Structure 1
Amino acid sequence: MTRFTRAELEAARDRLVPDVAADGLRVLFSGINPGLLTAATGHHFARPGNRFWPVLQLSGFTPRLLKPSEQQELLAYGLGITNVVARATARADELSAAEYVEGGRLLTAKVTRLRPRWLAVVGVTAYRAAFGERRAQVGPQERRIGDTRVWVLPNPSGLNAHWTAATMAEEFGRLREAASDRPGRPVTADPGR
C-alpha cells in the first residue's frame, strides 16, 4: 500500500469518494463517512486497522479476503458500499448532527433509487444520528426504505473495541443469511443468483 504523508492525507479532507453501487444489490453497506486514507486512495475502508474487508470474508459474504483496491469486485457478489456522510474527515466525531441528518436524507433517496434488498449501516451511533432512532441496536430494524430492509452492523473500525472480528463476523453472517437466496450458503460470485 502506498504511504501518504501527513500533508497528503490532510489534502484529502472533504474529498468525496465514489460509491461502489448498482441497482438491485443484495446488500448496500453504508459506512459513516470516508476517512482521510480512504479519500486519498479512493478505496472504501482503506485504513489497515479497519476490519470491514476481513469480516466480509469471515462472514461468508466473499470467498476470499478482498483488498480495498478490489472494491469493484463486490458488485459481482451483489454487494456495494456508500456512506451516510459523503465528506472525508480524520475522525467521525468531526461531523455535525446536521450533517448526519442530511446524510440520512440523502442515503434514503439513494436507497429509494437503487432499491437494494438490504441497507446495512455499519455503526449504530451513525444510524441513530442519521435516522433519529435513538434506541436502535445492532441487528435488523423495523424501518424500511421502500422495499429495502435495514440492518445495523457494528462499526468495523479498529477503534471499536466492543466487537472482535469474530463477533462482528457473526453479526455480518446473520445479515448474509437473511440476504441470501439460498439460506445457509455464502454469497457466490454468480451475479445471476
Structure 2
Amino acid sequence: MKRQILLSSLTAIFLWGGYAEVAHRSAWAQEPSTAPQTESGWELLSRPEAGFAIEIPPGTLREEVQSVETEVGQIELHTIGVDRETRVYAVRYNDFPEVFQALPAETLLEGTMRGLTANVSQRLEADRPISLAGHPGLDLYYEGLDGLVYKHRVYLVNQRIYQTIVVTSQEDLTNFLSEADRFLDSFNLTALEPQF
C-alpha cells in the first residue's frame, strides 16, 4: 500500500508552474535489470539516449513516458525509477517545447520550480542552488502535501530539465538522507546518442 502511495505521489509532480495536465498515463513497465552490480548491490544505470547515467539501489526498475499537454504544447515526460520497499528513486526528464527555447535558463528553471513548489507542504531545509557540469540547478528537501518526504534535485541542461528524486514516508527516515544523497550525487551527464 505504501509503495502505491509513493508511486502515485511521484506521478503527481507537475511541470511549468503547475499548468500541465497529464493527457495520457501509461503503466510503469517493469524491466529486468542487467547493469553491473557494486559490492553494496547498487548498479550503474546508463541511458545514453537520454544523456545520463546514475547509480541505483536494488529494487524493481520501472519506466514510463507520459504525454503532458501544456498551454504551449505537448511535453513527453520520461520517468525511470526504482521501487524499493518504502522508497522510490527516480529520474525524470523532459525537453521544453520550441516556444521556450529562446527563454533564458533562469526563466525556465524558475517556471519549473513554481510547478514543483505547488506540491510542497513545508521545507525541511532551504532550497540550495547547485550546478552540474556548468548547468544550473536546485537541491530541495521538503515534505509534500501528501505527507511524504522528498529529496529532489533539478537541473536545466540546454532545453532539457532533469529531475532526480527520492521519496519516502515519514516513518522511514532512518538513513534516508545518506541513501538519497548517494543516489542524487551519482547522477552524471553523458553525451546524447544521435537520434535518427
Specify if TM > 0.5: no
Higher relative contact order (CA 8 A, sep 6+): 1
User: TM-score normalized by structure 1?
Assistant: 0.30
Choose between structure 1 and 2: higher helix proportion.
1
